[in-house]
Amino acid sequence: MKTEKIITIVADSHLMADNIARAIGATPAGEYHYAKEGYAVTWTNGSIVEASYNPKQPFILSDSMTPQQVYAHNFDFAVRDYDKVVGYDKKAEDLARLDAIKALFKNSSLVINATMPTPYCDLVFWNLYWYLAVPVKTCRAWLPVLTNRAIRGAIYNPRIDDERYKQYISKVIYDKFLEEDEIWREAEAEEQAQQALKAAEGKEDDEEKPIIYNGQEVKLVDYPVLPSFLSLLVTASAEFGYNHDETADAVLRLYLKKLISFPSDIQSGVPYSVWRNMKRNMRMLRYNSRWGEQAKAIKKLSRRCVIKGVSDGAYETYGIVTTGLHPTDLTGKERIIYDHIVKQVIDAFTPFEGE
């Protein structure tokens, strides 16, 4: 008897998988996945497969290869080994999880990559895919917000062979090669930096140095903007006394609770489509017990935070915005950071006089 093929959805964390499963009505079906008729939802539990690259080896490239295939041919993939770090048999659990995911892949007509919307999580997925070596069609579910409507739209109407994703993943993989090459040369660069530092000892440098984060210069502005992950780390440390781990955990949980968009590192603007959706979300904020009066005072939304040249935000992350849902079960830290985000969102969309 022929078994009907399913669609498998891969998240990177149990919380992410749980959100997706609840949105599509899937229920626990084993230790490592949820299921409903025709669908399975599983998760990798982080970067379960690691990629290693050796720039000294001949580089393999062909016009007929996709960026993912170039990645596969030039990296080696292996299960992470935490045993040496944690002191117990963690790898056995990872291998059992991989066996379960591989069985799902073999029974799938389509695998949907529903990891969080970051280049890192895309590589988490492709590391897994090439390690399992199960040829199956894949596509990307891009989820900057985790509302049920957004999840169901991404899962039930997947973007097959999406050209924008091809362009996006090409850049992700190209940047990965550059990153690995930079790491390879790190020792030499560090030595040169130390020599330069010694040579400069005793010299004054009055030039204002740019603020660099993840290889990008952070521009400081003197008008209200949407929060980014970096700005929240700084604010939470300076104003609330939270360390970065506490802030990161609280912000990620707000995203997983569907209350905010995915926390982009440094972006403080939004594409026009998100700005348009914020009209509805701002109306919802009018019912917020703390910020409702300020939200009601906004008659029209300022456009100063709209990113020019980006129409729909496909495979982009953007400044953190609220989703229009109301919080019900926040911890103390989550509540404080959520209120800070709401205030910044209201300030960013409040027009200046004459705007």
Number of domains in the chain: 2
Are 137 and 44 found together in one domain? yes
- Per-residue burial over 35-74, b if 16 or more Cβ lie within 10 Å, else e, is beeebbbbbbeebbbbbebeeeeeeeeeeeeebbebbbeb
Are 147 and 258 found together in one domain? no
209-222 pLDDT, tens digit each: 555 555 555 554 55
- Whether residue 204 is predicted with pLDDT greater than 50 in this model: the reply is no
The answer to whether residue 88 sits within a structural domain is: yes
Residue 1: predicted pLDDT = 46
The answer to whether residue 205 sits within a structural domain is: no
Phi, psi of 50 (to 5 degrees): -105, 150
CATH code for the domain in which residue 52 is found: 3.40.50.140
251-276 pLDDT, tens digit each: 999 999 999 999 988 888 888 888 98
Q: Which domain holds residue 85?
A: 6-180
Residue 198: predicted pLDDT = 62
Residue 340 vs residues 32, 70, 150, 156, 279: alpha-carbon distances, Å: 36, 43, 25, 34, 20
Are 154 and 271 found together in one domain? no
Distance CA 172, CA 127 (A): 13
The answer to whether residue 114 sits within a structural domain is: yes
Are 176 and 235 found together in one domain? no
- Whether residue 203 is predicted with pLDDT greater than 50 in this model: the reply is no
The answer to whether residue 274 sits within a structural domain is: yes
Are 25 and 148 found together in one domain? yes
Are 171 and 281 found together in one domain? no
Picking from 131, 153, 180, the residue at the C-terminal end of a domain is 180
Are 41 and 154 found together in one domain? yes
The answer to whether residue 151 sits within a structural domain is: yes
The answer to whether residue 233 sits within a structural domain is: yes
Backbone Cα Rg of the chain: 23
Question: Mean pLDDT of all residues in the chain?
Answer: 85
Number of neighbours of residue 191 by Cβ within 10 angstroms: 10
Are 164 and 33 found together in one domain? yes
The answer to whether residue 1 sits within a structural domain is: no
- Whether residue 188 is predicted with pLDDT greater than 70 in this model: the reply is no
Most confident among 51-55, 71-75, 80-84, 213-217 (mean pLDDT): 71-75
For residues 219-236, give the mean pLDDT: 81
Residue 215: predicted pLDDT = 59
Are 283 and 167 found together in one domain? no
For residues 131-143, give the mean pLDDT: 95
The answer to whether residue 15 sits within a structural domain is: yes
Are 125 and 224 found together in one domain? no
316-339 pLDDT, tens digit each: 788 999 988 888 889 999 999 999
Picking from 125, 155, 180, the residue at the C-terminal end of a domain is 180
Are 100 and 156 found together in one domain? yes
CATH code for the domain in which residue 236 is found: 1.10.290.10
Judge whether 23 and 36 are in contact, CB under 8 Å: no
Are 173 and 228 found together in one domain? no
